[in-house]
Amino acid sequence: MPIIVNLDVMMAKRKMSLNELSEKVNLTLANLSILKTGKAKAVRFSTLEAICKVLDCQPGDLLEYSEE
């Protein structure tokens, strides 16, 4: 998939666990895990906004395009 999700990188930089992020953005652990592993087919802007707010980052810090 040409879209790479760098959620784990940002979480590591902020020293935040998946459980903690899940609670703060009000997403299930399972859905957040799917996003983190890059298996998600879509992401809502509201979800992306909540994650960016909690991690104090920009959407470009979380998503990257790479040609296969």
Q: What is the CATH number of the domain that holds 31?
A: 1.10.260.40
In sequence order, which residues have a C-beta less than 8 Å from that of residue 2 and are 6 or more positions away?
65, 66, 67, 68
User: Which pLDDT tens digit goes with each residue over 1-56?
Assistant: 689 999 999 999 999 999 999 999 999 999 999 999 989 999 999 999 999 999 99
Q: Which domain holds residue 10?
A: 3-65
The model carries a pTM of: 0.91
Cα–Cα distance for residue pair 54/49, rounded to 1 Å: 9
What stretch of H or E contains 5?
A: strand 3-5
Number of folded domains that form the chain: 1
